[in-house]
Amino acid sequence: MSEVLQATDIAKTLEIFEIGKENKGTSTGSYWFSSGEIISSWSPVDGECIASVQTTSEADYEVVVKTAQEAFKEWRMLPAPKRGEIVRQFAEVLRHYKKPLGKLVSYEMGKSLQEGYGEVQEMIDICDFAVGLSRQLHGLTMHSERPGHRMYEQYHPMGIVGIISAFNFPVAVWSWNTALAWVCGDVCIWKPSEKTPLTALACQKLIAGVLEKNELPDGISCLINGDYKVGEFMTEDKRIPLLSATGSIRMGKIVAQRVASRLGKSLLELGGNNAIIVTPDADIKMTVIGAVFGAVGTCGQRCTSTRRLIVHEDIYDTVKDALVTAYKQLRIGNPLDENNHVGPLIDKQAVEKYSAALEKVVSEGGKLLVQGGVLEGAGYESGCYVKPAIAEGNNDYEIVQEETFAPILYLMKYAGDVSDAIEIQNDVVQGLSSAIMTNNLREAEQFLSYAGSDCGIANVNIGTSGAEIGGAFGGEKETGGGRESGSDAWKVYMRRQTNTINYTTELPLAQGIKFDIL
């Protein structure tokens, strides 16, 4: 039985997190204050104003940073497994509040209810991963060239980690960073997207309760609200050694330059222009499922959304017909109704970009196989609902080279062997996610080889979206090169130190240098 949320359900959800119509938007743990201007959160589901928050002023920000600095002094001294225990408790709180938080994610951002629940599950999963990691922050022991000496490497907390997250995954990306940063001994300051401040407020209240219960400092988890101007507080702040930023390539380049100018470190997760290669040996049913979900899931607003489908000419018509048939079955509407497949875009500005992209691909010579358009009438009052579209085109079209954050799939063909398809796939500035559909072992291995996909993620017989917590997430080229989540991504949140211990009564110098002064 599907679940359809009503206005009363949303009111109850806000009440659970003690979110009223007006909220203070700046926080360090359980200490709430703010003095900036008011911004409102509008739901793309029904166009209603959910609530408003006060943004962070420069004076507010100074209080936050100083509180975080003091908290770091205590937090870093707690043994890593003890820090892991705090993260474990946070995971338990998330399990308890999974449904209401998932509902709030869905309503504020516009993704389907199941995706909202799934996003909170990602938070739980990364917390579980981080708990295990808290007992595995290992270094490396090396042999010294000097007798009676021992060398090793170890990792120490960096300090304050700044996090700038995007609207499309309003809570999961924050947790990918914070869960790891916390077990590493860092404290965090989070600036969520100004389009989704309420989900951030809910998360902050949940972790604040955990910190208060354990009599830990407020500044371990801090929240600031506002637009790019508030983000600039962190990009230019020497007190923040690492800034993790998720968003557009344009934004990432600005962040990278400003952080680099003060010799800080940045972790960038930027745009994707992801492709699936479909070879003659592909399973067509699997291909259609992977391509459709990748293209229309979250209304095409994932950084890993499938933007391009590169199909061999021998099976092109078969794949094209199957896709067109599948798109006819898509149900577009309120994402809080689990019967629907596709919800709204985040706002009307995104709708304008979607419409402009469709006009552009036609003007460049493309053909619309599945017509797009903005939906109107009952159920679509927010003006943010659009039809997923499929356009035939070429990879060298200007619009195909860009990342349009909308459900537009560009269909193109290739001839020859798989190397031709790989060349097309790689011929974009982004390098996040990629996939190949084939039952041919040689094609699969070539796709994964050094001469294959140039993306940070390369999949075989699954789509471009749906990364697992256990693997490092991120991409190459103008995607930014950052890595979050699993594997050894934890190392970016720590400073590396090489240690040499002399346990003799002599002081031999490296490389056999003689330096006699006594």
Nearest residue to 399 (alpha-carbon basis) of 356, 435, 447? 356
Contact (Cβ atoms closer than 8 angstroms) between residue 164 and residue 247: yes
**398 SS3 class:** helix
C-alpha distances (whole Å) from 427 to each of 267, 308, 462 are 24, 12, 21
Q: What is the DSSP string of 201-266?
A: HHHHHHHHHHHHHTT--GGGEEE---SHHHHHHHHT-TT-SEEEEES-HHHHHHHHHHHHHTT-EE
Contact (Cβ atoms closer than 8 angstroms) between residue 492 and residue 242: yes
**Residue 26: its H or E element:** strand 26-28
**Residue 298: its H or E element:** none
Q: How far is CA 105 from the centre of its chain?
A: 14
Alpha helices in 97-133 (DSSP H): 98-109, 113-133
Nearest residue to 291 (alpha-carbon basis) of 466, 463, 432, 111? 463
| Residues involved in catalysis | 269, 303
Rounded CA-CA distance 58/237 in Å is 12
Rounded CA-CA distance 170/515 in Å is 59
Q: Residue 245 forms beta bridges with which residues? A: 164, 268
Identity of the amino acid at 208:
A
Rounded CA-CA distance 244/180 in Å is 12
Rounded CA-CA distance 436/309 in Å is 10
**Residue 516: its H or E element:** none
Nearest residue to 224 (alpha-carbon basis) of 54, 477, 468? 54
